[in-house]
Chains A and B, each alone.
Chain A
Amino acid sequence: MRNAWIIATREYRQYFLSPVAYIVAFLILLFAGVLFVLDMYIVQQQTLAAYYAVTPPGVADIVIFPTAFLLLFAAPALTMRLLSEEHRAGTLELLLTSPLKDWELIFGKWLGSFLYLLTVYAVTLILPIVLNNFVSPGIDLGVMAAGYLGLILLTAAYLAIGTAISSFFNNQFASFFATLVVLLVLWWVISWPAGILPYNAAEFLRSLDTSTHIDSMMGGVITLDGLVYYLSLTSLGLFLGTIAIEIRRWR
């Protein structure tokens, strides 16, 4: 566990030297900021404080949803080099001959990217704080917390998938596109057949859809199957990443 932490802290620091990571942070904050300003503008125009007392502009619309959408591209961009680049530079050989277990390497890599995005999310918290002062009687903190929880869980799952794919590919662009495809399938494509399938099968597909669970959490509803789903996806990603490293050793 200590090893994983050492890997994670190095990775976390590397993000602050990486242009890709800055672009990701910039886009997330830009989208949230622009949507926030637009929201505030509409509030002013309508000057209907009473209206907003009924349905205050949600944190979900300003921060959670746009970020969840951007994450489809941001997660592959942040994870693509995690292991692919170590392989290209030959440093993987160094890590794999250090007293470091394969799972610690994968977990540490994932944790570094996860902590980086958590840092970016922490910056977005400014927006709800400002919003809270503008609307009366303030925003619903419970809904906001549920939304952020959903976003964090979604992030964990996406980054784990990206980490796993990065450990399969030696080329970071291959990692990027493979991860993007997998995330798009899970976010979007997977529930396409739901309309033509019998109820049970359709429900099953919808529950595999990453957007289903974040939708309910953005509405303030934390469901057990949502928690289980995201955490399982995270564990699966980390497990497959570890397997990929073992496969590398054997071939």
Chain B
Amino acid sequence: MIRATGLTKDYGSRRAIENLSFEANQGEIVGFLGPNGAGKTTTMRILTGYMPPTYGTAQVAGFDVIEESMEVRRRVGYLPETAPLYNDMTVYGYLKFMADLRHLPNAEDMADEALDMVGMSERADGYIANLSKGMRQRIGLAQALLHKPEVLILDEPTIGLDPAQVVEVRKIIREIGIQRTVLLSTHVLSEAQQLCDRVLIINRGRIVAEDSPSNLQARLVGAERATLRVKGDADGLLRSITKIKGIQTAVVRPDGVIEFQFAPGMDLRPEVARTAVKAGFDLLELGAVGMSLEEIFLELTRDSKVGK
């Protein structure tokens, strides 16, 4: 469980985050989404006890991050942005060292288990310096999982991984998220969409939107959009579609597909299909286009007045 209340952090005169309040509950994966420099890392550093906030408080796993920092640190697994590792240690030696620092009673077993979890068991005796970026990231993740923490905080967990590894790491995170609290930051929107139960969009140190990915989409899109592909010249059909009651706009895209918009809640696709068939066109494809999270994100971060 993570509960942040009014977190503010100043670096000298620059305010990195301002009055951030949010919660993440057990069994929930919460995504921090925002452009670089939005304050994601700063917030995570406060929650992990790396540095105190200028104002505000936060509880992690039931303990105050300032007053009971040690208790918090014992219960949190943290993967910093750069997956910091000691190059001159072996993978196993490194995990054993971290396990010792956490006073784990069976450090060897825990290290083995964490390595197994990220699929790196066969590289246990190799030196970290010889690992690829993706492997380093996985060792960083193994380090965060080592002590089976109640709360997992991951700063850009899939950055620098190849597509197969991304899938692998996301699978691991999803498994962990079933029982524990996971807070992860990303600027890959599809990742947030796939992984997170809830998304916090953060821009210039403020939360500009907070909801589940699908709700965010529904809430922020004023209209639903759909596409229609027919055989032959679509231009002839455009006029009849525009005439259908409830259609707000309809255009023929350069690729010959008709894209039309209608008010949310009233699905006009059957109506459009009937019109096309009636007009003598062969229907090839009828699809829905939601506003992608990318668009929502750009919308929100371009103009931070939205959602305030």
Contacts and interface: CB of A to CB of B under 8 A. Distances in A.
Interface of A: 2-3, 6-7, 10, 14, 17, 89-101, 249-251
B11 A251 contact: yes
A97 B78 contact: yes
Q: Which 4 A-B pairs have the closest CB atoms?
A: A90-B84, A91-B84, A97-B48, A99-B73
Contact of A98 (B12, B52, B102): B102
B101 A99 contact: yes
Interface range on chain B (Cβ under 8 Å from partner): 20 to 34
B84 A89 contact: yes
A17 B80 contact: no
11 contacts: A14-B88, A89-B87, A92-B84, A94-B78, A94-B80, A94-B143, A96-B50, A97-B48, A101-B70, A250-B51, A251-B11
B48 A10 contact: no
A16 to B, nearest CB: 11
B250 to A, nearest CB: 53
Contact of B50 (A3, A7, A93, A100): A93
Interface of B: 11-12, 45, 48-52, 70, 73-74, 76, 78, 80, 82, 84-88, 97-98, 100-103, 143
B76 A6 contact: no
A1 to B, nearest CB: 12
Contacts of B70: 99, 101
Given A91-B84, A91-B85, A91-B86, A97 B101 contact: no
B86 A6 contact: no
Contacts of A99: 70, 73-74, 101-103
A206 B100 CA distance: 45
Nearest to B70: A99
Contacts of A100: 101
Nearest to A97: B48
Contacts of A92: 84
Nearest to A17: B88
B84 A97 contact: no
B52 A250 contact: yes
B86 A89 contact: yes
Nearest to B54: A250
A10 B97 contact: yes
Contacts of B78: 94, 97
A6 B80 contact: no
Nearest to B44: A97
Contacts of B49: 96-97
B103 A2 contact: yes
A249 B46 CA distance: 10
Nearest to B87: A89
A167 B73 CA distance: 22
Contacts of B50: 93, 96-97, 249
Given A94-B84, A98-B73, 8 more contacts: A93-B80, A94-B98, A94-B143, A97-B80, A99-B74, A250-B51, A250-B52, A251-B11
